[in-house]
Amino acid sequence: MADDLSVRNGQQAAEELIAFGDGADAARPAGITSSYAEGRSSRWQREVIADIHAKAQLGRYQLRGFSTFQRNLPTFDDLVFQPATMTRLPLEGYREQCDTTTVLGDGLGKAEKPITLDIPIYIAAMSFGALSATAKAALGRGARKAGTMTCTGEGGMLEEEREENRTLVYQLTPARYMVDLEHVRRADAIELVVGQGAKPGTGGLLLGMKVSERVARMRSLPQGVDQRSTCRHPDFLGADDMAIKIEELREATDYRVPIFVKMGATRPYYDTAVAAKTGVDVIVLDGMEGGTGASPELLLDHTGVPTLAAIPAARRALDDTGMSGKVKLVAAGGIRSGADVAKALALGADCVMIGTAALMALGCNSPRYIEDYRKLGTEPGACHHCHTGLCPVGVATQDPVLSERVDVEAASERIYRFLTALTMEATLLAKACGKSSVHNLEPEDLRALTLEASAFTGIPLIGADKPFSW
């Protein structure tokens, strides 16, 4: 008996020594909590549970704006530049010139007036409807100041944006809002939209709160409806038909302006190879990080190819079909900085577009009107509520009071300065790599930090000096 007791006592003593006792979690180093105590599962995360609760109430998929929340996407941060050292000569960062002129639509010789931009960056298609008229005007004015252009997006040609922009790309989306001879002839380029990176394979979406009287009139819609656009064009199906459509557009514009085709990146090699044969001047390839005013959430997070992987595949397709230099490649989707711009150009893009970043320069997610962010259940720096039409800073709204929060002149100045800063960053990197033009940036200037980035970009793995291959 005595032995048994001593064994038990020994066990008790051991338990006391092992246990941390009450307040153990509080005693943990800062930032480390017990996932068990909090009921956190790596599979059933709080947002997963909240998503199930929301869908159980709604009976449909969730909708939102902004861009993908997908974790662990490869990014441009997986690549680093290798500036000139012993084998190459750098250019002086402050004295020597690095050309940024970008020409689109000159390669095939089909368009009499190719587009010449002062910088290799322009503002992506975002419709009047998704954005307020003040935001559209500010983007146009800012782009003009920076010597570049914007694109109308799906909702037709807004009078303010036509006046503010020196150069304007006019979109023909499958819904064909406001597409007629008058508007087509006021465009400096026509873009046939086959898809977009945020939600490839589907059409546009604009929820009723943003279908104001003016938006409805421009789109020939009943005011206040939840507009969903078709995913296929009404009058052509495959690439062979599209080639005929492109000829029609050249006829309608008297062979004056370049024709673009925009696609979401899904099979970038094959899609680019096919698109290049349709007779377009410019291919716009939008990676899955591309933003949107509204989309089924699952499309944002579960469809498409990241921009980083899409660009090299598209460039390879143009090389393989002998179309490099003839058909220009514009890349978009998640471009945030001049480093991203330079890396996109080095990977093979002739030009890049920015959308979400441009909205942020306008004021998106800026720390003003905090109370209005809170009403949406969010805060500056985390807002993704473009789909609600209640944008606290007046960018993604049709509310007349909110829209006035965009001071067109001030916002356009910020767009101009941001575009200037991006260009300066890109040229800084280019000059360090010894390039007198940003278009001379090349894959050889880059190294990959990760095996994955090396494998799908073909960029040598850092330290190994050859691409990872399998």
Site residues (CB under 8 A) for other proteins? 58-60, 63, 174-176, 178-182, 184, 207-208, 219-222, 225-226, 228, 230, 234-236, 241, 244-245, 247-248, 250-252, 254-255
**How far apart are CB 64 and other proteins at their closest, in Å?**
12
Q: Which is nearer to other proteins, 28 or 217 (CB)?
A: 217
**How far apart are CB 260 and other proteins at their closest, in Å?**
17
Q: Which is nearer to other proteins, 236 or 369 (CB)?
A: 236
Q: Which region, left, alpha or beta, applies to residue 222 given φ > 0 means left and ψ of -120 to 50 means alpha? A: beta
- Residue-level length of the chain: 470
**How far apart are CB 234 and other proteins at their closest, in Å?**
4
Q: Which is nearer to other proteins, 16 or 251 (CB)?
A: 251
**How far apart are CB 295 and other proteins at their closest, in Å?**
12
Q: Which is nearer to other proteins, 149 or 207 (CB)?
A: 207
Which residues are CB-neighbours of 258 under 8 A, at least 6 positions away? 104, 105, 110, 111, 113, 114, 115, 189, 190, 281, 282
Query: C-alpha 25: how far from its chain's center?
Result: 42
- Under DSSP, the state recorded for 256 is -
**Burial 290-302, CB ≥16 within 10 A → b, else e:** bbbbbbbbebbbe
Separation between Cα atoms, residue 212 and residue 218, nearest integer Å: 10
Separation between Cα atoms, residue 128 and residue 352, nearest integer Å: 21
Query: Residue type for 327, please?
Result: V
Separation between Cα atoms, residue 169 and residue 172, nearest integer Å: 10
Q: Which is nearer to other proteins, 204 or 355 (CB)?
A: 204
252 burial class (0-12, 13-18, 19+ CB within 10 angstroms)? middle
**How far apart are CB 81 and other proteins at their closest, in Å?**
45
At 169, list the tokens.
């790309």
Cβ–Cβ under 8 Å, residues 427 and 438: yes
Q: Which is nearer to other proteins, 226 or 399 (CB)?
A: 226
Q: Which is nearer to other proteins, 176 or 199 (CB)?
A: 176
Cβ–Cβ under 8 Å, residues 358 and 139: yes
Q: Which is nearer to other proteins, 90 or 296 (CB)?
A: 296
**How far apart are CB 392 and other proteins at their closest, in Å?**
23
**How far apart are CB 178 and other proteins at their closest, in Å?**
8
- Under DSSP, the state recorded for 28 is S
Q: Which is nearer to other proteins, 145 or 256 (CB)?
A: 256
**How far apart are CB 58 and other proteins at their closest, in Å?**
6
Give the number of other Cβ atoms within 10 Å of residue 226's Cβ: 14
**How far apart are CB 228 and other proteins at their closest, in Å?**
8
**SS3 at position 359:** helix
**Burial 100-116, CB ≥16 within 10 A → b, else e:** bebebbbbbebbeebbe
